[in-house]
Amino acid sequence: MSAILPPAERLWYRHPIDRVEGTWIAIALTWCLIMFFMMVGWHIWGKQNLSTETYRTTPDKFMAKTQAMVDKYTVRTETDAKVPVVKPPPGSDVYLVARLWSFYPILELENGKSYRLHLTSMDYNHGFSLQPANINIQIVPGFEHVITATPNQTGTYSVVCNEYCGIGHHTMVGRVYVK
Amino acid sequence: MTQVQTTYRTCPRSGLQFERNAENLMKANAFVAVVWLLIGGLLAIGVVLTRWPAFRWLEADRFYQVLTAHGIDMLIFWIIFFEIAVLYFASSTLLRCRLATPKIAWLGFALMVIGSVTTNVAVYRGASSVMMTSYVPMMAEPAFYLGLILFAVGALVGCFVFFGTLVVAKRDKTYEGSVPLVTFGAITAAIIAVFTIASGAIILIPTWLMSMGVVKEVNALVYRTIWWAFGHSSQQINVAAHISVWYLVAAIAFGAKPMSERVSRTAFLLYILFLQLASAHHLLADPGLSTGWKVVNTSYFMYFAVLASMLHGLTIPGAMEVAQRQKGFTKGLFEWLRKAPWGNPTFSGVFIALIGFGFLGGISGVMMGTEQLNMIIHNTIYVPGHFHATVVIGTTLTFMALTYTLIPVLFRREMIAPKLAQWQPYLFGLSMYAFVLVMMGAGTLGVSRRHWDMAFQGSPLAYEWPGAAYLMMGMVGLTGVIAIVGGAIYIYVTVGSLLWGRKLEGGASAATFTAIPRTAPTVAAQTTGSMGFAAPGTFTLAMVFLLAFVLYYFINWKYLSTLWGLS
């Protein structure tokens, strides 16, 4: 009864199971169920769950909302390209545009306060990789993803695009300040 | 019934019976597979020397082009060509029957060759550096998609020839009872392959039409969802295929019999039912998909496919242990393992593959496939770290190990440089262990995958990675180069044996098949169930595995709990 020959016993499915296998099945199944309920349980007790709130959008629609926020809450500009630094009030809707090959605008948030962060892409798929916090979210064109985010540490964060988006991909970095 | 003109050869070294058409097709598929491995390996040099921060060898456009080709040639072409050979082996050779419709099988082979060449040409022309995933709306040349579609159709033809061959064997009564376990595993792989290829066709055909301007738009999220039913599932074909090969090698190297057919076959059945759901792993950080969908799918519905892998992980070394103990290696927990044929590259390769697949690929796969934990590694270099553990250490090393057996048996050549071949699995396998560990280490620090320059040169807002990330990416380069040397030795030994190896006796040829004789139920087989704790050494290893799994799993939850609040 080798693995390369037909089973010698025709009724192989009635063959008793060795204790080693039986014990391992029980242990492995238990572990699998623990992992499953851990994932469900984190939705109840955990504080890091990715929101599923999503709307269809278009580049024009999203850009208009972003620009309205920028016009209202810009506190200064940075870099040669004069990227606006926007400081929206806690609890408000915050828009972040991903496009070839930059994030727009720069955000300034308050530590411990929650914001509704809206993400979308103007063109290709992009990645929202917040460093060094290491939070990674996919940005898909045509979809506006709304995430409630609560910074828990002050500092300067970078938003690295970690979805390949063409030749300038490695220059696509944005910034978030938490004060 | 029409009589097909063919001959059957019984290999004097292995006792395996090869039907002429099947044999030629296996040789052709395995050979082309190795050619793609060679090309993919050459491309790997460009990838690792560019990601090694001290070198950053290629320019950005060339790097992305090379990375696209490396992914496709390795993940799709090398592996699926080899898998078609495995399917023909598991049907025609193990069931000792003729291959169904050899002409159609050659047509499938031709489509696969044409398709793989077409896609490669499209990538080298330069306008198709879209990565293996080719997410819309980024567009490649039409030929890029067309090549993949042709290849997929060819592979689908191969699967149906495999199914047809099973029918031939049943009708010609070449065996009695149920198919062997290895064939059963191959059936699993083929069923998964049909689902996979169908998904690929569903999404690649409209994308191809879009690249020609016939279709206006393919929804970006729909593309990602269906593409991954192809992209991830194709890796599930590998899992089913290389685990079948592990059972095969356990049988060849040890004469091991499965601990229990019931457990092993049920585990394969769980793969058919649940393994496919895992394509959700790639969509956990996406917008628009509900939490329930993510949780159910990413857990393969309560981790039943993980359960299946954990069972195979026990029963394969367990079967080896039982066989070794019956040979008298009964001292302590691990004499059976110490006295295993470590100098036989087929065994050592499979064992290194098995341990690496479980400890490195398996544990990391479950971690990153957990809905919330995914946020700390999504699209970081942790992801290629994980899949190099599964696909390179697991599948590729297993196929390499199997080749060392196939050279004398199928290709009828004496292996050149047997000493070199003995070392190859250690060099390649262990350097890959180190390679994936440092990749996952860098990924845990957040370093992106598919990224030309971690220094972000030219960006006004450049982020500075910690020194540890640079150190680990340097080690990715170094260990990657060593692994490429290990791969080159494999190519040298296999291709060299075909070119310069001494020709071996083919064995007696006959016009008809010799049916598989009915095996009498052995005493040992009947008492397996009452032997009590048959494989204590393997069980101990399994507990070590579980401990590593549990610790690593909860360490990552701890890490997650320190992040910003997200809801």
Task: With H, G, I as helix, E, B as strand and everything else as coil, classify residue B450.
Answer: coil
Residue in B181, B223, B567 to test binding to A, most A beta-carbons within 10 Å? B567
Chain A positions touching B318 (Cβ under 8 A) are: 18, 20-21
pLDDT at B5: 79
Identify the closest residue of chain B to A22 by CA–CA distance: B263
Q: Where are the domains of chain B?
A: 18-519
CB contact under 8 A, B375 and A152: no
Q: Where are the domains of chain A?
A: 1-49, 54-178
Angle at A135 between CA A130 and CA A138, to 5 degrees: 90
Choose the closest CB to A15 out of B262, B374, B456: B262
Tokens of B36: 């793609």
Average pLDDT over residues B255-260: 89
CB contact under 8 A, A3 and B319: yes
- Quote the minimal CA–CA distance from A118 to chain B in Å: 11
Q: Which ipTM did the prediction report?
A: 0.96
Chain A positions touching B461 (Cβ under 8 A) are: 79, 83, 106, 158, 173-175
pLDDT at B521: 61
**Which among B381, B387, B487, B358 has a CA at the least distance from the CA of B429?**
B487
Each residue of B106-136: pLDDT tens digit?
999 999 999 999 999 999 999 999 999 999 9
More confident residue, A15 or B564: B564
pLDDT at B41: 97
Each residue of B491-510: pLDDT tens digit?
999 999 999 999 999 888 99
Place of tokens 């039943």: B304
pLDDT higher than 80, residue B3: no
Question: H/E element holding A129?
Answer: strand A126-131
Confidence of residue B523 (pLDDT cuts 50, 70, 90): very low
Average pLDDT over residues B407-426: 96
**Which among B390, B167, B295 has a CA at the least distance from the CA of A35?**
B295
Residue B484 in contact with residue B435, Cβ under 8 Å? no
Each residue of B223-257: pLDDT tens digit?
999 999 999 998 999 999 999 999 999 999 998 98
- Quote the minimal CA–CA distance from A179 to chain B in Å: 14
Identify the burial level of B554 via C-beta atoms within 10 angstroms of its C-beta, where 0-12 means exposed, 13-18 middle and 19 or more buried: exposed
State what percent of residues in chain A have pLDDT above 90: 89
- Spatial separation of the C-alpha atoms in residues B56 and B47, rounded to whole Å: 9
CB contact under 8 A, B251 and A163: no
Average pLDDT over residues B75-97: 96
Least confident of A72-76, B157-161, B528-532: B528-532
pLDDT at B1: 45
Pairing label, strands A143-150, A115-121? antiparallel
Tokens of B386: 């994980």
Percent helix, strand and coil across chain A, each to the nearest 5: 25, 35, 35
Choose the closest CB to B251 out of A4, A17, A125: A4
pLDDT at B531: 54
Choose the closest CB to A43 out of B291, B310, B456: B291
Q: How many Å is the maximal CA-CA distance in chain A?
A: 80
Choose the closest CB to A173 out of B449, B462, B566: B462
Chain A positions touching B295 (Cβ under 8 A) are: 36, 39-40
CB contact under 8 A, B448 and A162: yes
Chain B positions touching A167 (Cβ under 8 A) are: 60-61, 64
pLDDT higher than 90, residue B302: no
Chain A positions touching B450 (Cβ under 8 A) are: 162-164, 169
- Spatial separation of the C-alpha atoms in residues A92 and A116, rounded to whole Å: 6
Chain A positions touching B562 (Cβ under 8 A) are: 152
Query: Would you tell me the crossing angle of helices B102-125 and B60-71 to the nearest 10 degrees?
Result: 170
The residues that bridge with A130 in the sheet, in sequence order, are A135, A159
* Strand ranges for B216-326 from DSSP E: none
- Quote the minimal CA–CA distance from A72 to chain B in Å: 23
Choose the closest CB to B529 out of A17, A54, A166: A17
CB contact under 8 A, B539 and A158: no
Identify the closest residue of chain A to B133 by CA–CA distance: A164
- Spatial separation of the C-alpha atoms in residues A60 and B439, rounded to whole Å: 39
- Quote the minimal CA–CA distance from A77 to chain B in Å: 13
pLDDT at A10: 78
pLDDT higher than 60, residue A160: yes
Choose the closest CB to A24 out of B291, B314, B458: B314
For chain B, what is the mean pLDDT? Answer: 94
- Spatial separation of the C-alpha atoms in residues A176 and A79, rounded to whole Å: 14
- Quote the minimal CA–CA distance from A21 to chain B in Å: 7
Identify the burial level of B504 via C-beta atoms within 10 angstroms of its C-beta, where 0-12 means exposed, 13-18 middle and 19 or more buried: middle
B451 Cβ contact list (under 8 Å, min separation 6): A162, A164, A169, A170, B381
**Which among B165, B235, B233 has a CA at the least distance from the CA of B196?**
B233
Place of tokens 């070119």: B499
Which CATH number does B18-519 carry? 1.20.210.10
Task: With H, G, I as helix, E, B as strand and everything else as coil, classify residue B342.
Answer: coil
CB contact under 8 A, B221 and A36: no
pLDDT at A15: 78
CB contact under 8 A, A170 and B453: yes
- Quote the minimal CA–CA distance from B1 to chain A in Å: 25
Confidence of residue B533 (pLDDT cuts 50, 70, 90): confident
Choose the closest CB to B461 out of A134, A142, A175: A175
What is the signed CA dihedral for B13, B18, B20, B21, rounded to 10 degrees?
-140
Q: So what CATH class is A54-178?
A: mainly beta
pLDDT higher than 90, residue B518: no
pLDDT higher than 90, residue B525: no
- Spatial separation of the C-alpha atoms in residues B455 and B542, rounded to whole Å: 42
CB contact under 8 A, B138 and A165: yes
CB contact under 8 A, B182 and A24: no
Q: Omega into B460 within 30° of 0, i.e. cis?
A: no
B170 Cβ contact list (under 8 Å, min separation 6): none
Each residue of A41-92: pLDDT tens digit?
999 999 999 999 999 999 999 999 999 999 999 999 999 999 999 999 999 9
The residues that bridge with A118 in the sheet, in sequence order, are A95, A146
CA atoms within 13 A of residue B291's CA, in its CB half-sphere: 14
pLDDT higher than 60, residue B527: no
pLDDT at B520: 65
Confidence of residue B275 (pLDDT cuts 50, 70, 90): confident
CB contact under 8 A, B533 and A114: no
Identify the closest residue of chain A to B138 by CA–CA distance: A124
- Quote the minimal CA–CA distance from B446 to chain A in Å: 6
Chain A positions touching B453 (Cβ under 8 A) are: 170
Choose the closest CB to A167 out of B61, B251, B567: B61
Size of interface A-B (CB pairs under 8 A): 343
CB contact under 8 A, A51 and B566: yes
pLDDT higher than 70, residue A145: yes
- Spatial separation of the C-alpha atoms in residues B176 and B518, rounded to whole Å: 7
pLDDT higher than 70, residue A169: yes
CB contact under 8 A, B376 and A135: yes
Q: Omega into A132 within 30° of 0, i.e. cis?
A: yes
- Quote the minimal CA–CA distance from A158 to chain B in Å: 6
CB contact under 8 A, A145 and B287: yes
pLDDT at B43: 98
